[in-house]
A and B are shown apart, each in its own frame.
Chain A
């Protein structure tokens, strides 16, 4: 909710083109089909525009997010990555001025159709935020809470199993199993973020959205979260916003590059440049703008 626009230069200035990244052989990952060939995905946007009041933040986004893949959204600051992500589970509803036009299809159903309950959407499409935000409750309750409000009816023992399972999936169990009653806030930043992922996993969503989940973490904690994402994708579809192109290259199957342009009225409206299999986007981008961005020649 409090996204602020940073200066454009921040993204790329300290990120020299990574040779392993740009020169990666295409064979490193199985070449994926383009989304069109893959058939309808778990989430599809069709000509989606998002406004904040009169300001059009992103225009005409049409994307198809495949099942059980990790899709990465990259692009310069202010191009609308977070805006797009929040539109996918109606978190934008919490911003009074925000409005979404066009369609967002979840399993083929338009989540912006009248009569759709945003709460139901968010139960199926969970979210992990940039800054770890555990509740000021115990580690156990942090995870149990989401399950409870999602109608968990099992016994106490079932709840224990659920909490343990979620913590194991988030690769946090061994570190916290002896202190489940301590506050979630007593953990380190990286542990807190894994707790937040465990919390999201415990509600058994279908899709997990992550907005720069590693930006507050050190490289080691970052790698752990990346490993975690790769494991989670067996069961979930994941969409991640990242400023770190190496991260997109390491974890994602498909990458979307967004850019931002001044329109005739002087508004800075973001748009989708291309959405391709990750190895392809980083080695042979279709668009000049993508190439400029990933090689650091942007702006």
Chain B
């Protein structure tokens, strides 16, 4: 620190002058560039999706209206209604959440409120390994284990490709995501609230379920939404286990709780269609090829919506403690 005596000849204005810090400038600059690159990439993807989709929508065979209203997806027959693919995606996402929310939440409550440090230190890395397994492995697990298992339980009403098997395995896939996000939210609940609860004579279960979980609810909900958008975007498992036939339906004729929502039959999802079409041998500039961009754009908007929903939830969560 400069003390007055040794630098008397330097004026106070000069002493107080802003110093140059080249290293700081360099590091801040690099950080900015890194941030800018990721934004640029996102914009680039959007541009690509948008412009290719435009080609699709301006084709005389399709109209934007029928794309978003028709319930038949048969590219060979020239009908491009996205609802069967959305239906497949939503069915699988719903089944996945049915599996993942109870399992993930229980795991989070156990890890955050019950497990000893030793147990926690064992389980958390295991969950992280689960995240690291390639999804194609999960896909084969669905096909060679889950589907036969379901068929041995429910009989041959279960198709070889079916959304139940795919949905349950996607559920397993997102369990670690839900459990770790929910556990983070619960760990952020101040200990003083737990003490208050115990001090009033609450048991551990009452404290966990009626103090900690409600206090962490927004964080937990945000985690579920993130997991949901992960399930919506999951590709490999659904391509392998749910089959490649879009579940074309007609609202008047097919029964809602029969064919339309049947868990035992296969259904193509948005991601499944994109994967198969993009890897198949169709040429550029065909309408089939362009359609995957329109689907991609829809998918992008869906996950964007889900992510901003989760953001909004988290924001509310922060306000609660202030």
Contact = CB atoms under 8 A, between A and B. Distances in A.
| A and B found bound together | yes
Interface of A: 1-2, 89, 91, 94, 96, 119-120, 122-124, 126-129, 131, 133-137, 145-146, 149-150, 183, 185, 196, 199-200, 203, 205
A122 B195 contact: no
B137 interface: no
Interface string B214-233: 11000000000000000000
B211 interface: yes
Contact of A199 (B200, B203, B215): B200
Nearest to A90: B198
Contacts of A129: 192, 195-196, 199
Nearest to B217: A136
A94 B215 contact: no
16 contacts: A1-B195, A91-B195, A119-B203, A122-B198, A126-B199, A126-B200, A127-B195, A133-B195, A133-B196, A135-B193, A149-B201, A149-B206, A185-B321, A200-B199, A200-B200, A203-B200
A132 to B, nearest CB: 9
A96 B198 contact: no
Contacts of B193: 133, 135-136
A91 B190 CA distance: 16
Most chain B CB within a 10 A radius of its CB, from A126, A128, A133: A133
A4 to B, nearest CB: 13
Contacts of A91: 195, 198-199
Contact of A149 (B116, B210, B215): B210
Nearest to B201: A123
B191 interface: yes
Given A2-B191, A135-B193, A122 B210 contact: no
Nearest to A150: B201
B320 A136 contact: yes
A136 B195 contact: no
B103 interface: no
B205 to A, nearest CB: 10
Contacts of A1: 191, 195
A94 B117 CA distance: 13
Q: Is the interface of B mostly helix, strand, loop or mixed?
A: helix
Given A135-B193, A135-B215, A185-B321, A149 B199 contact: no
Contacts of B214: 136-137
Nearest to B320: A136
Contacts of B62: none
Contact of B201 (A96, A120, A183): A120
B187 interface: no
Contacts of B206: 149
Interface residues of B, number: 24
Nearest to A203: B200
Contacts of A149: 200-203, 206, 210
A126 B196 CA distance: 9
A91 B202 CA distance: 12
B215 A136 contact: yes
Contacts of B202: 119, 146, 149
A146 B116 CA distance: 27
Contacts of B196: 129, 133-135, 196, 199
Contacts of B197: 135
Contacts of A200: 199-200
A122 B116 contact: no
A91 B195 CA distance: 8
Contact of A133 (B116, B190, B210, B320): B190
B314 to A, nearest CB: 15
Contacts of B210: 145, 149
A199 B201 CA distance: 12
Contacts of B194: 94
A74 B322 CA distance: 33
A202 to B, nearest CB: 9
A127 B199 contact: yes
Q: 6 tightest A-B contacts by CB?
A: A123-B201, A127-B199, A133-B192, A146-B200, A122-B201, A133-B196
